[in-house]
Structure 1
Amino acid sequence: MYVDTFAAAEPNPAWQGTPQAPTIAFLGRLDEPRKGLMVLAAAIPQVLARHPGARFLIAGRGDAGRDDALAALGEHAAAVTFLGGISDEDKAALLASVDLYIAPQTGGESFGIVLVEAMSAGAGVVASDLGAFRRVLDDGAAGAVFRSEDPADLARVVCDALEDPAATAARRAHATTWVRHFDWASVTNQVEAVYEMAVAAGEAIPVRPDAAWRASRALRLLGEGGDR
């Protein structure tokens, strides 16, 4: 992804919070259990007990998941706004607007591109402690982590992030620099460097011409942004 696309996103005033009424976002398929919406739903009452003005903005498709979350929230559902599926432009605006982005996934995540998007847009990040997420968040330096599938720990970490804005700001500042490691420009340069090393070693370890051609084409396609 291109970091600057999210870094340049304009906040939406309707999605921005205040110290008394912070906004907290979730993005993901609502009816996919691994995305962790129900973990967040279970944590929301505990967050509201300490921050009664907090607002939760939930974006994603999946009516069944939304209905399950509403049932679990009960009287606390008034603090939650379901945005449905949103465009890429609105996703960037949402991440640029909120105080915190929550990634409560329970597994099956090989990378965590949405964390990179959230960091690029300037949101404070709170994520489950999956190995992939910890690596993207520089082992917690670029975002706070909680025990996966533990709503009480999620609520604790969210409240700590809201109640210690200096620590949250420090993580966001680190994320602004750290996230550049995942920009396509940096990734492409790293891939090209590896490819050049492989070519340079060709005399010692011969590379099949068709394999070299495929690698070269893959790099071109990466720069063009997709398959052709």
Structure 2
Amino acid sequence: MKILIISDLYYPHIGGVSEHIYHIANKFEKMGHYVRILTGKIPGGFKPDERRVIRLGMGVSIQWNKSVGRVTIGHDLLKARKIMNSFDVNHIHGGLTPTYPLLTLQMSEKTKIFTFHSTFDRSIPFKVFRKPLLHFFNKIDGAIAVSETAKESFSKYFPGDYRIIPNGVDIDRFTPHFKKQKGTVLFVGRLEERKGLKYLIKAFKIIKDRGRNLKLIVVGGGYRKYRMDIPNGIKNFIHFTGFVSPEALPEYYKRAEIFVSPATGAESFGIVLIEAMASATPVLASDIPGYRIVIRDKENGILVPPKDPSAIAEGIITLLDNKKMRQKIVKNGLKTAQFYSWDKIAKQIIDFYYEINPSLP
């Protein structure tokens, strides 16, 4: 089968959508399918395996859903349409933006699959432009949401049948490592307000005031603002790595004694939680809808109220001091990670293609 994955969001844009596309493309190829990725040109940055990437138009950053998104401008429409219609399946990732997603729905004559990744409480653009966007939504042959929360976000504006197929983790890449660096806490994510890093830093101040000297490793770009805001007395205990390549990232997970994701909301799933679990690293995360899909409190992770430094501090100390609980969470986390392997996710997606169009090759 010839599969064209289409998105405004792909490397060097860093985020869950890029990660998702990269891994399913790898797995599809290993299953014997021909795969290409159609996206915009983005200067610089990390670009893995460009041999299967087709870049038309220029990717431009925008603020969207409390995060940094992208749209692609300056398309060669005739060339894009020709490419789309030379594949059996056009699989779109992202939102209903007036760039590659809507262009594909309008121009493609092939089987059109759409994966919705975002989570939000409300959307003014969707409310204002709901009627014209419904015209495009109804052109989708098969809709996928990465979680129940993503489905709920979109279905209140665009009702229909959504198949839940979650994000995944590369089990072979994030193998367990039981020689942890004692007292090391890890954060991984873009340093945006919604990721909640400032609450973790405040929690570290609380922990330090109690006489506990831990080390916080912060993996992610955009760290200057946060480095300036660190309280006196804990600066030497917080290390910012900046951007870390996907190849180097697993080592950080493997060495950490605890992984913390203090996101405040707008998370549809949380790939980072599964990556930590696959690395045998116990997880502490905010009690938000997108994370409750993955974490069962005190079973395969610990959930704490969002925006609560004291609760984060207590959770970290509990995981450090309660060996029995920590071992239980690690054991159950490894089982959870197996459920989300990219091999299983890729098979679910291919099966969905054939369910939507049984005549596909």
CA distance in structure 2 between the partners assigned to 1:216 and 1:184 by the alignment: 22
Q: TM-score w.r.t. structure 1 length?
A: 0.76
Partner of 1:58: 218
- C-alpha spacing 1:161/1:66, structure 2 compared with 1 (3 Å): same
Which has the larger share of strand?
2
The partner residue of 2:251 within 90, 93, 96 is 93
* SS at 1:123 equivalent: coil
Partner of 2:184: 23
Say whether residues 1:6 and 2:6 are aligned partners. no
* SS at 1:74 equivalent: coil
CA distance in structure 2 between the partners assigned to 1:184 and 1:216 by the alignment: 22
- Structure 1 segment 60-139 matched on structure 2, within 5 A: 60-70=220-230, 73-139=231-297
- C-alpha spacing 1:51/1:123, structure 2 compared with 1 (3 Å): farther
CA distance in structure 2 between the partners assigned to 1:136 and 1:69 by the alignment: 31
Name the stretch that deviates more: 100-109 or 79-88. Answer: 79-88
CA RMSD of aligned residues (A): 2.4
- Structure 1 segment 178-193 matched on structure 2, within 5 A: 178-192=336-350
* SS at 2:248 equivalent: helix
CA distance in structure 1 between the partners assigned to 2:210 and 2:346 by the alignment: 45
Partner of 1:225: none
How far did residue 195 of structure 1 move? 5.6
* SS at 1:87 equivalent: coil
| Deviation sequence 1:110-159 (CA, Å, 0-9, x none) | 11001111111111111001111121123442111111111111111111
The partner residue of 2:205 within 45, 48, 54 is 45
Partner of 2:321: 163
Q: Percent identity?
A: 25
How far did residue 67 of structure 1 move? 3.0
8 A Cα contact 2:207 2:213, kept in partner: no
CA distance in structure 2 between the partners assigned to 1:134 and 1:140 by the alignment: 12
Partner of 2:122: none
How far did residue 69 of structure 1 move? 3.4
The amino acid that maps onto 1:120 is A
8 A Cα contact 1:129 1:148, kept in partner: yes
How far did residue 194 of structure 1 move? 5.2
How far did residue 185 of structure 1 move? 1.7
- C-alpha spacing 1:128/1:216, structure 2 compared with 1 (3 Å): farther
* SS at 1:157 equivalent: helix
The partner residue of 2:334 within 172, 176, 189 is 176
Structure ranking higher on relative contact order (CA contacts 8 Å, 6+ apart): 1
Partner of 1:202: none
Structure 1 spans left out of the alignment, 5+ residues: 199-210, 218-228
The amino acid that maps onto 2:181 is G
8 A Cα contact 1:58 1:81, kept in partner: yes
Name the stretch that deviates more: 55-64 or 92-101. Answer: 55-64
* SS at 1:39 equivalent: helix
* SS at 1:132 equivalent: helix
CA distance in structure 1 between the partners assigned to 2:250 and 2:240 by the alignment: 17
8 A Cα contact 2:274 2:336, kept in partner: no
How far did residue 64 of structure 1 move? 3.5
* SS at 2:187 equivalent: strand
CA distance in structure 2 between the partners assigned to 1:43 and 1:26 by the alignment: 13
8 A Cα contact 1:134 1:140, kept in partner: no
How far did residue 45 of structure 1 move? 1.3
Q: TM-score w.r.t. structure 2 length?
A: 0.49
CA distance in structure 2 between the partners assigned to 1:35 and 1:167 by the alignment: 26
How far did residue 168 of structure 1 move? 0.9
The number of aligned residues is: 193
Partner of 2:138: none
How far did residue 186 of structure 1 move? 1.9
Partner of 1:36: 196
- Structure 1 segment 134-149 matched on structure 2, within 5 A: 134-149=292-307
Structure 2 spans left out of the alignment, 5+ residues: 1-168
